[in-house]
Amino acid sequence: MSPEAVRKFEIPREEWPEFVLGFGASHKNWLLEIIHFDSNDLKTILASNAPMKDFILEDEGDLNLLISASENSEKTITHKIQKPEYIIMG
């Protein structure tokens, strides 16, 4: 199946806490890539083929999404998405 054929859908904001909790628990240790795009669309790969450790919605007045993965047995990468506007799965 081509990437274009994958159905994408947005998670409604009021469902984020439940979705993030369930997704994090059911996908723990799944291999993932963490890719960051800056405001100029410059792509930086933060983790590649790394087991997911945590997928957390942090509420510090504003909602933040934290994604952690193990690069190796000694190194964990954590990426914080501050004030996400949407979560799209596909």
Q: Is the pLDDT of residue 1 over 60?
A: no
Given a cut of 80, whether residue 45 has pLDDT beyond it is yes
Tell me the pTM. 0.77
Beta bridge partners of 77: 69
What SS3 state is found at 74? coil
CA neighbor of 89 nearest in space, from 26, 33, 29, 12? 12
C-alpha torsion sign, points 63, 76, 88, 27: negative
